[in-house]
Structure 1
Amino acid sequence: MKTITDFQHKKVLVLGLAKSGVSAALLLHKLGAFVTVNDRKPLNENPEAQHLLEQGIKVICGSHPIELLDEGFEVIVKNPGIPYHNPLVAGAAAKGIPVLTEIELAYLISEAPFIGITGTNGKTTTTTLIHEMFKADKKHAVLAGNIGQVASEVVQNAQPEDYVVIELSSFQLLGINKFQPHIAIITNLYDAHLDYHGTREEYAKAKLNITKNQTENDFLIVNADQPHLMKLAETTKATIIPFSTKSVLEEGACVQDGYITFRGEKIMALAEVALPGAHNLENILASVSAAKLANRTNEAIQAVLATFSGVKHRTQFVREWKGRRFYNDSKATNTLATKSALSAFNQPIILLAGGLDRGNGFDDLIPYMKNVKAAVVFGETADKLAETAGKAGVQEVVKTDTMQEAVRAAYEASAEGDVILLSPACASWDQYKTFEQRGDIFIEAVHTLK
């Protein structure tokens, strides 16, 4: 951990707790800042705040009083989930007070270089693949950010010869100042989080922050199959490394003559890759690019790609039973993600879908449902999805109340050689606390089939 004086004797407000807020507060305290923590949850219901209070850190709980801006804070470190229109955050910006996220702190103290991964889809799979490639090469890498542990905590023990492999959201990237990954990846860019960012342009601008401090000695890996993204990437000072699933590239990563290649070098036969789906091929090409730029061996890359079958809840292979292959894609909380999952398979599909009703329709799924022979629907959107399945010409539609019923109904509608796919196209909050809980219940139901 670097010894820095950036925050010494400065008044810093940590706004919002959760894991990243606690870590940020403790780190700033260690760095000699005068830290105040402000969290909406009342103190008597807030064990994290109570712990910080015991460490000698000032804590204000129960609300976000605007009067805090009168206390002369020089820096605010904000939880990424708190929007910028929050009165405290907007007021700080109006006063010219820097508003950072915990990622900036992690970068400032880290002795290890960063590989940063962002994009609309594929971040977690790409991040995991890169980390696994380092492990297979017996090289240490720290897994941090939205996947893994809180960055500002784990980088404290990172060594100069290590890499920090970190998944980054647009929310986190808005709160950086000096953050400069040696290798940055933008997997793709679609409309998302517009309720937070306001416009597509602002969302894209937040994503492009990942490269704003890069130099010609750094690398930006970017999806060449998205011309709009390539156009945005032209603003970077970094060396652009493109990847494409559709075109042959001399400089970047692509598929040529049945092989995954990087800068013209054959890395591995595509037929030997375990992870299914065109969308996952994008993630694979991005991760191979990062691994090669970080001097990982082809043998390590091959070992991972031959065995890696998916991140949990993201088109995760669960089990083959009586000739049916079961996949858990509970992370698919919108139609865009479900389109990708449906496109991953050429076999007949039994689709399990449904969840929280956000007021949207599902007819944009219809062109992707050509292989869907049966749909099992549930949750608040069951009727909407049943109607969409009917329009798509799906032969059989079954409504169920529980995941256990849905799995049993899906099996009964299937035949040998079919894929049974949970890809809900909806958030989970109508029936489950998280998409992880929904996926875990699916996995359990699949393993208890008799």
Structure 2
Amino acid sequence: MKKFTNFPYTNILVLGLAKSGTAAAETLLANDKKVIVNDMKATENDETVVNLKKMGADVIVGSHPISILNGIELLVKNPGIPYENPIVVEAVNIGIPVITEIELAYHLTDGPIIGVTGSNGKTTTTTLVTEMLKESKQQVKVAGNIGIVATEAVHSMSEKETLVLELSSFQLQGIEKFKPTTAILLNIFEAHLDYHKTLDNYKRAKFNIFKNQTEADYLVYNADDKSIADEVRKAKSNLVPFTVKSKVKTGAWADSEYIYFADDKVISRQNIVLVGEHNLENILAAIAAAKLNGATNDGIRTVLTTFTGVKHRLQFVGNINGRLFYNDSKATNMLATQKALRAFTQPTILLAGGLDRGNEFTDLLPFLGNVKAMVVFGETSEKLKQLSLEAGIKTILQSEDVAKATEHAYSISEENDVILLSPACASWDQYRTFEERGDMFVQAVHKLK
């Protein structure tokens, strides 16, 4: 396991276990740090708790005693734990730095880091960059919000390997010195306000991705997003734009026929198999970052002519008697569903619904022109039924869950229809994760076959 070379903290509290907390605690213990682990939901008999105690950690479960902060120099917080947590509040009040696990990974990484963030498209872009580099014979490993935890990934990496990280606002809010050598900033839309409280707080967390960058680093940014284009003027790094609206001299752009990097014609758009206008932005961002890190046009073309989408993100599931099924369970907000709907010109049956966060769905109205029917489920069923009526959609069905919704959608479909799961809601009213929800859809499609 790798060792820190310049990490000034000795007495450290890891707040929250899960994957990132466990990996952080194990890393710190392997670096001879004095570690206290605190988790509300874990029990003394949990395998993780037992193993950490064997490694030398002091593990406190079932409560969050404020006294746990006595003598602590640093708090490593699980990204999902809000800053309103009493332990976190007190740590901030008494001047204890609060970081997330990616800060630890940064201190252990020898090679280049590509960091990807944005409100939507992170996983697709992260995957595209990773595959483009692999197809270009580069050594690369992917981690962060996708795949394995960052600190777990870096232990087996050499300085010749590139680490590609998908980064959430939760992770980026807790950094001190972390910086990617190439940052990708895809877009900023209102999201996670239950955590960040205000849009400005959310933006600040996202913009942390470039706050520590220097003149030696690159910032790939969405020139079509005004809030981003304005903010990146503050960056010290080399600005590399991507845009779908105009030609740029130093970044990635597209006309009606081709995609370019600066003046280099990279690929014909008709050869790209990934659907959706929003994915064009993801592709441009990925091309820019990949080219900056040594990817070849041949490697990029191989990926773009074969990659059909990340699981649960406008993923093509199959064709049954001329009906095309797409799994977009990752669409946990209206913006993501808007983008999914814009990807298709065919008649569409939309499966939507989930956790009711109190919002209405009128922002979807302009995007429902091709929707011939809606099948709704979950806590937001009634709101979505009302939306369907306002949109003039004549066929509206209510189902008890995603599996039944899939069956109902197929029963009213016709040849050449798209059957699209794009819920516009979080999954937590019925499912533990959006992945579980998407898997249920995929299984239901396979049963129809």
- Compute the TM-score of the two structures, normalised by the length of structure 1: 0.97
8 Å contact kept, 1:8–1:31:
no
Show the counterpart of 2:234. Answer: 235
- Verify the 8 A CA contact 2:9 2:73 in the aligned structure 1: no
Count of aligned positions: 449
Aligned to 1:57: 57
CA distance in structure 2 between the aligned counterparts of 1:171 and 1:237, rounded to whole angstroms: 23
Q: SS of the residue aligned with 1:436?
A: helix
Take 1:56 and 1:285, find their aligned partners in 2: how far apart are those partners? 47
Aligned match of 1:90: 89
C-alpha separation in 1, matches of 2:176 and 2:310: 31
Residue 378 in 1 paired to residue 372 in 2?
Answer: no
Partner of 2:285: 286
**Residue-by-residue CA offset, 1:195-226 (whole Å, 9 max, x unaligned):** 22222111111111111111111100111111
**Which residues of structure 2 form unaligned runs of 5+?**
none
CA contact (8 A) 1:403 1:442 kept: yes
Distance in 2 (alpha carbons) for counterparts of 1:175 and 1:226: 24
Which position in structure 2 is the counterpart of 1:277?
276
1:234-281: CA deviations, max 9, x gaps?
A: 110001111111222222111025101011210000111111001111
Deviations 1:44-80 (A, max 9, x none): 35332221012121111111111122x2111111111
Matched residue, 2:332: 333
Q: Greater CA deviation, 398-407 or 87-96?
A: 398-407
**For residues 227 and 293 of structure 1, what CA distance do their matches in structure 2 show?**
24
What corresponds to 1:264 in structure 2?
263
Q: Report matched runs for 1:128-207 at 5 Å.
A: 128-207=127-206
Q: Is the 8 A contact 1:2 1:111 kept in 2?
A: no
d(CA) in 2 for partners of 1:65, 1:174:
24
Q: Work out whether 1:66 is the aligned partner of 2:62.
A: no
Instruction: Tell me which residue corresponds to 1:304.
Output: 303
SS at structure 1 position matched to 2:83: coil
Q: How far apart are the structure 1 equivalents of 2:40 and 2:33?
A: 22
For residue 42 of structure 1, report the CA deviation from its aligned partner: 4.4
* 1:5 Cα deviation after fit: 4.4
- Larger displacement relative to structure 2 (137-146 or 265-274): 137-146
The aligned residue for residue 341 of structure 2 is 342
Q: Deviations over 1:397-431 (max 9, x none)?
A: 11222333322221222222111100111122222
**Contact residue 7 and residue 32 of structure 1 kept, 8 A:** no
Q: Percent identity of the aligned residues?
A: 54
The 3-state SS of whatever aligns with 1:307 is coil
> In structure 2, the residue corresponding to 1:237 is in which secondary structure?
coil
Q: Contact 2:136–2:294 (CA<8 Å) still a contact in 1?
A: no
- Alpha-carbon distance, 1:38 to partner: 1.0
Provide the rounded CA distance (Å) in 1 between the counterparts of 2:128 and 2:42.
Answer: 40
Cross-structure match for 1:295 = 294
The one-letter amino acid of 2:302's match is A
Provide structure 1 residue ranges, at least 5 long, that are not aligned to the other structure.
Answer: none
What SS is found at the alignment partner of 1:43?
A: coil
Residue 22 of structure 1: aligned partner: 22
Q: Deviations over 1:263-307 (max 9, x none)?
A: 121000011111100111111000000110001111110000111
Report what 2:37 is aligned to. Answer: 37
CA contact (8 A) 2:222 2:241 kept: yes
State the one-letter code of the partner of 1:130. Answer: V
User: What is the match of residue 249 of structure 2?
Assistant: 250
Partners of 2:221 and 2:40 in 1: CA distance = 38
Q: Deviation string for 1:100-154 (max 9, x for gaps)?
A: 1110110101112100001111111100111111221232211110101010011
- Normalising by structure 2, report the TM-score: 0.97
CA distance in 2, matches of 1:431, 1:202: 29
| Within-5 A mapping of 1:78-117 | 78-117=77-116
Per the alignment, do residues 188 and 412 of structure 1 end up closer, same or farther by CA in structure 2, a change over 3 Å counting?
A: same
Question: Residues 230, 8 of structure 1: CA spacing in aligned structure 2 closer, same or farther, 3 A cutoff?
Answer: closer
Per-residue CA distance 1:370-410 (angstroms, 9 max, x = gap): 00011111222222111101111113111222333322221
The alpha carbon displacement at 1:9 in A equals: 7.3
Shift of 1:4: 2.4
Is 2:36–2:57's contact at 8 Å kept on the other side of the alignment? yes
Matched AA of 2:416: G
8 Å CA contact retained: 2:110, 2:158? yes
Matches within 5 A, 1:119-130: 119-130=118-129
Tell me whether 373-382 or 102-111 shows the greater mean CA deviation: 373-382
Tell me the residue number matched to 2:315: 316
Contact 1:278 1:344 in 2 (8 A): yes
The offset of 1:33, in angstroms, is: 0.9
CA RMSD of aligned residues (A): 1.4
